Each structure stands twice: as C-alpha cells, then as structure tokens.
Amino acid sequence: MVGVYGKRLAKEIISTHFGDLVAKVCNCLLQNGTLSLHEIVRYTDMPGSHVKNCLLILIQHNCVQAFCTPRKGSTDKTVTLYMAIFDNIINRMRFSKFLSLIKGGELAPKESQTKEGQCKYALLKGILQNGRLTFEQLVERSISKEQQMDQVQEKHQSELRACFNELVRSHYVERCPRPEPFIYTEPEDQPKHTKRRGAKTAVQPLSLEQQAIEAATLAESERFSEIPESSVERAGDGIVNHSPATGDKRKHETLETDLDLLVAIAENEVLWRANFEKLLYCLRTKICAENVRSRLGDDAGVVLEAIMEADTEQKIKATIVIATFDGILNNLAGSMTLDRVRTILDELNCKSATDKLEAIYSLDLNATLEACKNDEIEAVVKARYGDQGYKIFRLLSTKDQLIETDRIAEITFMEKKEAHQMLYKLWRDEFIDIKKVPSQGSGESASISLWRLHRKPFYQTLLDDIFHAALNLTVKISQLVEKQHEILEDDMKNLLKRKFILQLSLLKLDDALMLFHDF
C-alpha cells in the first residue's frame, strides 16, 4: 500500500522527466486507480487528444499498462482501462545505478572498461532513456552516435547483436509485455467464489491490476528469446548446409526464408525494454553483499554475491536463495579454496542438501535484510535521540520481547528516571509500543510498564518518512535547477556542487527505499 508521499514522489519524478501535463495524467491514475480514457479526461479536465498523448508517453516508458475488460452491462463491447505502475515510476530514479551494473561499462573504472562492456552500456542506456525500442532503432541510434561508415555498418550491427543477445541472455533486457491484454471479469451480480469447498484457507482472488500485469507478461521462454542470426550471417560464420539433393535444397531455401523472416520481425518489430526485476535483484545482491562484507569480512561478501548470482530463479521478493555448489564455485572462479568456501557457507547459515547427486545450498536472506534495515533505523534513532535512545532501541530490537522499565535501565546502565523519560519519547514518536500490566500487591492505580518494538507498523511509518525525505530532496534539486538560470557564472560551480550533494544523497536514500519497499 503506497502512502501519500510515495504518490507525490512518483508525480514529481514524472513531472521532472516529462513535464506537468504528463504528470497530471499520471497523478490522476495514481490517486484514483485504474481508469478509462473518458474518466481520465473528466478528472483532469484536459482535451482528449492531450490525454492520449500523455498516456502514450507513459506507456512507452513502462509507467502505465493498458488492458481491456468487458464493458459494464454489455457482453460484446469492451473498454480499455489504464493503470499506473508505481514501481516502474520509482525505478526511473535508479537508471544510473542500473547502468553501473554493466561490467566493463562507462561507469566502471577506466582500467577495467572493455569494448563489449561499453557496447552493452550504450545499448542499455538507449533502452532506459527511450523506454522501449526495437533492435533496429538501437542500431540506428548507435550508428548515428558513432557516425559509422556504410561499409562497416554490417560488422557493427553483428557486434551489436552479440552484445544485445548477451544482455537478453543475462535477463537485463526483455521483450515488452502484451500491450492490451483482455481480462475477463465476472459479472457483478454473480457471487465471487473465493473459497473452494473443503479448503482450509480462502483463496485470495487477484485484483484487476494484478490480473492485468499477469496477463500482459509473456512466458519466460518468449520474454528472453534472443535475436537469431540471419542466414547470410550464419553462412558467413561457416554454418553451411551441405545438401546435395534438389528437393532438400528447396526445403533449405524455405527454411532460410523463414529464418530471415523471424530475424526481421525480431529486429524491426519486437519492442525491448529493461527488465527491472533482474536489475533490482542485482542491486539487492550488492546491498546484501556490502552488509555481509562489513559484518563478516570481504570473503563472506564475495561468497554471498556468488550464491545470489548462481540462483536460477532470481526473484526480487524471494528471501530464500538456492544455488548449486558448482554454480557458486563457477562464480568464484577459483578465488578461494573449497574448504574456505564451505566454512563461509556455514558462517552464512546456509543449509545444504543433495539433489540428483548435486550439492545444493539454500540461504535465507531474511537475517541479512533485517540487519540492513536495522542499521538504517538505528542510525535514525541515534541521530534523533542520542546514545541513550540508541541503546534502549538496540536492546528492544535485539531482544524482541516485552521488557520492564527497571530491567531496561539495568541492562543499559542508565538511571531509572532517564530510562523512563527516553522510553516515553520513543513511544510518543511511534518507535516502540507500551503495555501496562497491573502491579501485584500494590494499590489499584499502580501498574508496571512493559516495552516492545513492533516491527511491521513501525516499518510502514519509516517507509512513509523515507518517501517524504526523497520527495523533499527531489523538490530541492528542482529548485536548484531553476536557480541555475538566474545566478552568475561565478556562483555556478558552487551551485552545481550543492546539486551534486543532493543527488548523491537521493541515490543513497534510494538504497533505504529499496530495502523497505522493493526487497
């Protein structure tokens, strides 16, 4: 459930990237949910053609998904509805982080940049900047940038295809989902069957939006289907069919034509976009590895990265990561001995099992993710309440149970009165919970205060604060951008320096946002 500030941040991002009109349409969908074109026009009070153009831009950039449903009260007519995809809007803040994932790309250290890395970087950058492109459009973009001469274009295109297919194989890029899937909705007068007979638990029906996303998503094999080589290129690569008979030769020519058709479709018609799920998974790997590195050492961080990269599923919300021992060793590329790897896997509390004679390790990321979240929260508590507040919060966070005031004062070596005051401050600001129990043997009014940290409601409050802070930073950056046109050249350097500080702070805050919202 996205709060007020999350939606405002999304609106601000769209406004910065595409202007106020597009932001108005996007905000209408964020505030009112899924709407038809007619409803959007009514809510925004904008001309229909403007709304359409805005929707096209939002769809192009994967911020809106369209789908069809039967029109109410009609059996044969349909209506197209539009829904905002909040997560994809927020992902627009992360493009530089996504690009930094490309090894050997432009954001890598100069000495480790490679031609292939730079090529992949340029392709991914083009896709992120433009939302969705065909391969042909990517090639044109690349050629116009590098001003390639005609005679080398073919070779360049072949190299680009190889790099592009590598991106698809790694799942950084995917084929775009279906543009307007049809969702059948049950008529309102029929009761919804949410409970199967004999089932112990009710089956939760998917919301309309969830159904739309599911229906739009292509099957895995199609989603990451690479661009094949044309028959000419295969011949050039030495893949020649030595078919002697005439009938076979005709069949071979037909097959070649089919293949060329497939290549033409894949290059000119299929739209490609960035696969945010994979990119976020890679960012999650980085953040978890960094946390483990700081707690358990460099080797542990490297092994954790190897495990996460070896997981074949790589789902962003999955907290259990499963990898084969061979897969882990492949990713480590011989940088550690087997014994050292096994010791670290034990330290990370990985569970081992055997499947078809293959050793498999599973890692529960919950502990690491909780440690990352705790670091973030404890830093806020320390900054707001000082060392005393921090100690009390740490105690309640590590114990995860009800503790009496006196005992808290004892363990934290604090005066009882000070401990009491600090506990009330933390409770007033909704960091901790209180429970009063009657005191045995005392008067009616006497009671004992017990304290506890309740994580779930607290995480939601903190997430709202993070969205709010991110919105504030975005607004501040916009303010500095406006000032750029007003100030003198002498002051420009200082202004840009401050803008850079704000942008870096926003990138860092976004890590916290991913921890509490996306992971």
Partner 1 sequence: MSGPDLSRKRPRPEASSRPTTGAPAPALTEGDKILELIRSRANRGIWSADIKRETNIPQNSVQKQIRMLLGNKLIKEVTDIRYKSRKVYMAAEFEPSDEISGGTWFSGGSLNKEVINDVRKRCKQQIMMLKAATSDMIYKGMKKSDPNIMYTMQQIGDILQSLVIDKEVDEIKSTGKGDFANVPAGKVCYRIVQSSSRTQVGALASIPCGVCPRLRDCTPDGEISPRNCEYYKQWLGAEYF
Gyration radius (Cα) of the chain, Å: 28
In angstroms, the CA 100 to CA 107 distance is 5
* Distance of closest approach, residue 491 Cβ to partner 1, in angstroms: 8
Place of tokens 């004062």: 409
* Distance of closest approach, residue 300 Cβ to partner 1, in angstroms: 10
C-alpha distances (whole Å) from 116 to each of 98, 108, 166 are 17, 12, 10
* Distance of closest approach, residue 293 Cβ to partner 1, in angstroms: 8
Q: 182 vs 500, which CB is nearer to partner 1?
A: 500
Q: Which residues bind partner 1 (CB under 8 A)?
A: 8, 12, 293-297, 343, 346-347, 375-380, 382-384, 391, 394-395, 398, 410-413, 415-416, 462, 465-466, 468-469, 471-473, 475-476, 479-480, 483, 487, 491, 494-495, 498, 501-502, 505, 508-512
Q: 76 vs 339, which CB is nearer to partner 1?
A: 339
Q: 269 vs 346, which CB is nearer to partner 1?
A: 346
- 3-class state of residue 415 by DSSP: coil
Strands (E), 74-139: 78-84
Among the residues of 269-313, which ranges form H helices?
A: 276-296, 298-310
Reference 405, options 381, 427, 374; nearest CA is: 427
Q: 128 vs 473, which CB is nearer to partner 1?
A: 473
Q: What are phi and psi of 154, to 5 degrees?
A: -60, -45
Strands (E), 45-155: 64-70, 78-84
In angstroms, the CA 452 to CA 393 distance is 9
* Distance of closest approach, residue 22 Cβ to partner 1, in angstroms: 18
* Distance of closest approach, residue 393 Cβ to partner 1, in angstroms: 9
Q: What are phi and psi of 494, to 5 degrees?
A: -65, -40
* Distance of closest approach, residue 498 Cβ to partner 1, in angstroms: 5
Q: 448 vs 469, which CB is nearer to partner 1?
A: 469
* Distance of closest approach, residue 372 Cβ to partner 1, in angstroms: 10
- What angle separates helix 115-130 from helix 135-146, to the nearest 10 degrees? 120
Q: 29 vs 471, which CB is nearer to partner 1?
A: 471
For the chain, the maximum distance between any two Cα atoms, rounded to a whole number of angstroms, is: 107
DSSP result, 219-275: PHHHHTPPPPPPHHHHHHTT------SHHHHHHHHHHHHHHHHHHHHHHHT--EEE-
* Distance of closest approach, residue 152 Cβ to partner 1, in angstroms: 46
Q: 211 vs 472, which CB is nearer to partner 1?
A: 472
Residues 6+ apart with CB under 8 A from 182: 67, 68, 69, 78, 215
Q: 275 vs 291, which CB is nearer to partner 1?
A: 291
Q: 20 vs 269, which CB is nearer to partner 1?
A: 20
* Distance of closest approach, residue 277 Cβ to partner 1, in angstroms: 23
